[in-house]
Structure 1
């Protein structure tokens, strides 16, 4: 059962032993000390880290003078962070997640004794981008040492149950193998999905694993995984040399499987995997046979994106599938066989060569339909029979009219980005449930139908050739984000009634002469416009100048 914040605070006070007012003041001060890793009392340190506020801004700002005089110099906001901090989240209710900033190897070494003292169960390494492979190996050697650093400490491998390495996008690190974790025999969750782990060496010591995320293995076989009989979730990415799934038949408890960018040709080893519920084989382009999936009757989620899937009949009798992605399956031209999947709630057909959508009328429970880039679809009218749709994406299609959406009385999210033949959105005046609408890069010139879409929270009109008034947007009082980039908007005064706005984007809106009404938007957090607009934009009156200066982001 989840504990409330007050109960956790009481437990923390008992655990830390901090009772005096003087010590409380010390605790309040500690979070503001950068890299404060030498606290004399580990209990004080623990409480300070657990309740302290961490400021980690990751954006850059341009210096500017009054009235937007040019100053091209750029400065970065200094980060104020600590080597160790604790956090509760949805997955860590019974114990805290310990987050270690790995940018400085020497600081990580300095706090290892304290992590041993606390007895960390869940450990996450962050900010490892820019860290050399040797540095990462050094950090793992320090943290996972089986030697206690003080008499009162217990080595982390004896208590550690979860280890995660977070890394910045498009920046990967080589860990090599898993031998450094051989002492972590209680480890249940290992997530190194943002690191390249070339070898499965050391896997034989991790027999208690229930969840494993790895990337970049150069091993041609998955056989070393057969010793992990308790695995429930297995995610392997960039497995360029893996040619089959042999070895996975021993993982009888497996419920989730992801094998991306591998050269597997079939699913034979999974034919007896009765516990399997989710399978993802994204970009496994050598797949030829899907017959073995017929026996995985418990399957509810299937991702076949970027594979050679061409016939959905091969999935029969998997009638229980609720989530299906066929994105970028270029060989798929027909949906024959889909009529048997009556439990579907999510279907992604993006960039396929499907021409007829007739089969989806049998999917009465469908809530999300993604047809982005389906240029071959001849008619969308059958969608009117799928009345439970909550989200539909028709981006970059040849749709001309969207009157078929009128029966979709619970539709919340509609994406029509890049629909170059779209002529009217008048039907939207009958769909009062919309919360998200993307009309960017479409030829729509009249938006009067939005007047009755009063529940809209997110709206994009980027690159729309709107010729009518924008004032109708002023009726959208729940709006929190709007993008008017590359439109002919001249004034933003109509936005002053949208009191919940948090983000406004007006990049390349060259007709704007001055910004008005911003002082009324108390919740506004981000106002974005192009640098070349600054010289002919006047902020008026003075009260608005102060507000906008604080929020402008130069791009």
Structure 2
């Protein structure tokens, strides 16, 4: 990083405003949703944007020199150093101690990947310190030191695989501490002094894989975020209820061994409850009072069977509900209008009844729920806002009408082996993706199905039983047309209107031999072209396909030439296996080419002179021109 470039103490998305040469962190109007995308994104390490006062001037002007960042700000006695950020890979322990002894007025100290094995004594005298970050402490073994840091608000000690014990009185003299990150430490318990930090708002214990239990959190009345995700040994809380932690907004217990949660009914501000990968949870206590809840994630909680509540209608803020990979066989009778509903691989789910609360749904994903064979009458008619409907790998035989799904962008039905027909699609004018691949029972698509889908960008009918492709939009926006192994197709509609096409797969359509591939002269934007096993005898000139990077003509035994192949200088993949091609252009022109497949190309003249001196070591006496220059 060069001089005057910006560097932040924490994750880049936490800094909302930057000025040339300065880093400013202000609370402004931030909330937890700035750090989590529907509650399942990465964790903000320190929560600075919610902790630093809105009148703060930030870290001041900073510079970077030889792996060190300094920030100067003016005090009553002139300039003093306010911020020091060091890359531990560039500084040894002795250099660090000297720096700390000479900079006692520091307000912010951040050490990334420090090589120290124990905390340095000079830290205990840094009375002005408000932020201390020790991130990636891979060598740290001992923190048996009394830190009298009365002004400290933010502390991170993370990444040590050797630190197993923190002294019980370690936090005794940090009364102002608001954010604490002990991620990836190998501690089996937390020091007793931590449980007295009444100002603590963020407690991050992510990846503390030896931690099994927390004692009572009753004194942490200001706690907003509790993150124990990937603390894979964690089993229980010391409290039966969170009634004293009513400010909690996020509880993250992903991939822990927790079986029973404390009573949550008092958490009216809770917005995110993340239990994905919690394989011991089998049911959910009443959550109807969690009226602010936006995200409930139970993905991969493979023993979870049911909610205590028969209805989730009162949770009016719910945006994201993920029950994928659970044992749920039915849903609550009413769910208060979520935006995302995921029920992937719910093998006990056989039908989805009409749930009127889903009227605002944007994403409905039922893929992989292989026993699902019935969509409730009228359900899809209510989903007028749905944008993604994924029924892939279900047992649905008949789809109800889709005529009211005016907002639908993606209709995903891949590997629906029982699906035989499609309903009318003409009203889906915003549809961009239609995936019917491997619907092996689908034999017919209505003539008018596609021609009105002017926004359609990807159409996949691979491995279906259709014998003809209906007319396509003209003009169209189609980028991908996939008809792989549609062996029954006898007639293709005109493809000359597909000027924007980037991917075309017609492999296995042997009838193409009769109609030819003259349409390739118009598909000038193609990047991927697969004509394998089409038995084509002749190709048009390829000189206009200059964007092509993947070409396969495999299994066309009568194809003797690829006209103007030399013009395809962007090719990365070329498969001519099983063709009668005789000549190859000089290969030095193809600087990006990696696989060149010529298996069973007995007519390629440059490769005819082979003498098998040893069954395992062929000797090639003449190679194609330029191949010796290829890597």
Q: TM-score normalised to the size of structure 1?
A: 0.63
Deviates more, 1:421-430 or 1:174-183: 174-183
Matched, 1:199 2:266: no
Matched, 1:240 2:296: no
Residue in 1 that maps onto 2:392: 327
Residue in 2 that maps onto 1:300: 362
**Ranges in structure 2 where 5+ consecutive residues have no aligned partner:** 1-12, 26-57, 72-85, 101-105, 114-134, 139-155, 197-201, 206-221, 601-616
Matched, 1:106 2:174: no
* Aligned counterpart in structure 1 of residue 324 of structure 2, from 260, 265, 274: 260
**Partner deviation per Cα, 1:321-370 (whole Å, 9 max, x = no partner):** 3321222221x222233334343332122233233324323333322222
Measured in 2, the distance between the counterparts of 1:300 and 1:468 equals 48
* Aligned counterpart in structure 2 of residue 317 of structure 1, from 372, 382, 388: 382
CA RMSD of superposed structures (Å): 5.6
Q: Structure 1 504/46 Cα, relative in aligned 2: closer, same or farther at 3 Å? A: farther
Residue 255 of structure 1 and its aligned partner are, at CA, apart by 1.0
Matched, 1:231 2:296: no
Measured in 1, the distance between the counterparts of 2:517 and 2:458 equals 20
Q: Structure 1 492/404 Cα, relative in aligned 2: closer, same or farther at 3 Å? A: closer
Matched, 1:11 2:67: no
**Ranges in structure 1 where 5+ consecutive residues have no aligned partner:** 50-81, 86-98, 126-135, 149-153, 167-172, 550-555
* Aligned counterpart in structure 2 of residue 348 of structure 1, from 412, 425, 428: 412
Residue 374 of structure 1 and its aligned partner are, at CA, apart by 2.2
Q: Structure 1 313/516 Cα, relative in aligned 2: closer, same or farther at 3 Å? A: same
Measured in 1, the distance between the counterparts of 2:93 and 2:578 equals 49
Residue in 1 that maps onto 2:552: 484
Q: Structure 1 231/338 Cα, relative in aligned 2: closer, same or farther at 3 Å? A: same
SS in 2 for 1:324: strand
Contact 2:405–2:428 (CA<8 Å) still a contact in 1?
Answer: yes
Measured in 1, the distance between the counterparts of 2:68 and 2:93 equals 18
Q: Structure 1 348/253 Cα, relative in aligned 2: closer, same or farther at 3 Å? A: same
Residue in 2 that maps onto 1:74: none
Q: Greater Rg, structure 1 or structure 2?
A: 2
Residue 145 of structure 1 and its aligned partner are, at CA, apart by 10
Residue 270 of structure 1 and its aligned partner are, at CA, apart by 3.1
Residue in 2 that maps onto 1:413: 480
Measured in 1, the distance between the counterparts of 2:330 and 2:273 equals 23
Residue in 1 that maps onto 2:526: 456
Measured in 2, the distance between the counterparts of 1:83 and 1:515 equals 54
Contact 1:303–1:324 (CA<8 Å) still a contact in 2?
Answer: yes
Contact 1:232–1:253 (CA<8 Å) still a contact in 2?
Answer: yes
Measured in 2, the distance between the counterparts of 1:349 and 1:222 equals 31
Higher RCO (CA 8 Å, separation ≥ 6 residues): 1
Residue 159 of structure 1 and its aligned partner are, at CA, apart by 9.2
Higher helix share: 1
Measured in 2, the distance between the counterparts of 1:509 and 1:180 equals 69
Residue in 2 that maps onto 1:96: none
Q: Structure 1 155/211 Cα, relative in aligned 2: closer, same or farther at 3 Å? A: closer
Contact 2:401–2:423 (CA<8 Å) still a contact in 1?
Answer: no
Q: Structure 1 469/236 Cα, relative in aligned 2: closer, same or farther at 3 Å? A: farther
- Aligned runs of 1:511-526 on 2, under 5 Å? 520=589, 524=592
SS in 2 for 1:450: helix
Contact 2:275–2:297 (CA<8 Å) still a contact in 1?
Answer: yes
**Partner deviation per Cα, 1:298-319 (whole Å, 9 max, x = no partner):** 2232222325242452404333
Residue 245 of structure 1 and its aligned partner are, at CA, apart by 3.0
Measured in 2, the distance between the counterparts of 1:144 and 1:209 equals 28
Q: Structure 1 212/178 Cα, relative in aligned 2: closer, same or farther at 3 Å? A: farther
Measured in 2, the distance between the counterparts of 1:302 and 1:140 equals 41
Contact 2:574–2:595 (CA<8 Å) still a contact in 1?
Answer: yes
Q: Structure 1 402/232 Cα, relative in aligned 2: closer, same or farther at 3 Å? A: same
Residue 276 of structure 1 and its aligned partner are, at CA, apart by 1.3
Deviates more, 1:465-474 or 1:12-21: 12-21
Measured in 1, the distance between the counterparts of 2:185 and 2:286 equals 22
* Aligned counterpart in structure 2 of residue 382 of structure 1, from 448, 456, 469: 448
Q: Structure 1 192/359 Cα, relative in aligned 2: closer, same or farther at 3 Å? A: farther
Residue 214 of structure 1 and its aligned partner are, at CA, apart by 0.9
Measured in 2, the distance between the counterparts of 1:107 and 1:516 equals 62
SS in 2 for 1:268: coil
Q: Structure 1 434/530 Cα, relative in aligned 2: closer, same or farther at 3 Å? A: closer
Residue in 2 that maps onto 1:369: 434
Residue in 2 that maps onto 1:395: 462
Q: TM-score normalised to the size of structure 2?
A: 0.57
* Aligned counterpart in structure 2 of residue 290 of structure 1, from 352, 377, 390: 352
SS in 2 for 1:295: helix
